[in-house]
């Protein structure tokens, strides 16, 4: 997997980014330099991004302008709608990398698309609190179609 710090830096300062779909509060972009497609939902000073490579989900990125992390590793859990990303019925804690205003949760191969279609929010749970980002469920199906189209162009 791509190193989290490199991924965060590249996504925050994209080079040759291709926009597949953009609407108020959300966008799908292709990051050719990283060979990933990203679906971002933006709400005021917060955002959540889902990153896919050609095969599957490659990670989930949370951004919050109020954060100021030193580069470090931590653990975090993610809830999409009412469902925790988990292999069982509880909460699974995943490795995550923090840097400045970004946290990347290393979740690989989890099929989030069906959860996103029904979700009104995405939440990050960390040791010092939760971050919730509201979604516009009406826009999500078209955004996920754009992700599918984007991923067909990845190598």
Query: pLDDT of the chain along its 155 residues, tens only?
Result: 334 444 454 455 556 889 999 999 999 999 988 899 999 999 989 999 999 999 999 999 999 999 999 999 999 999 999 999 998 878 999 999 999 999 999 999 899 999 999 999 999 999 877 899 999 999 999 999 999 999 999 99
Q: Per the confidence metrics, is the pTM higher than 0.85? A: yes
Among all chains, which residue has been given the structure tokens 């966008």?
27
- Report pLDDT for 28: 97
- Report pLDDT for 33: 85
- Report pLDDT for 66: 92
Asked if 39 contacts 50 with a C-beta cutoff of 8 angstroms, the reply is yes
CA distances from 24 to 55, 81, 153 (A): 28, 20, 25
* DSSP H or E segment with residue 141: helix 140-151
């Amino acid at each position: 997997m791509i190193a989290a710090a490199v991924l965060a830096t590249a996504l925050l300062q994209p080079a040759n980014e291709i926009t597949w779909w953009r609407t108020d509060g959300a966008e799908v972009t292709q990051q050719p330099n990283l060979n990933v497609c990203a679906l971002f939902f933006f709400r005021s000073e917060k955002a959540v991004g889902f990153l896919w490579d050609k095969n599957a989900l490659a990670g989930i990125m949370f951004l919050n302008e109020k954060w100021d992390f030193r580069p470090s590793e931590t653990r975090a859990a993610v809830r999409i709608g009412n469902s925790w990303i988990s292999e069982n019925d509880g909460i699974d804690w995943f490795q995550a990398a923090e840097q400045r205003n970004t946290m990347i949760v290393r979740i690989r191969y989890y099929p989030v698309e069906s959860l996103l279609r029904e979700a009104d929010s995405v939440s990050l749970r960390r040791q010092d609190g939760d971050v919730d980002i509201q979604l516009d469920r009406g826009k999500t199906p078209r955004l996920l179609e754009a992700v599918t189209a984007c991923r067909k162009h990845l190598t």
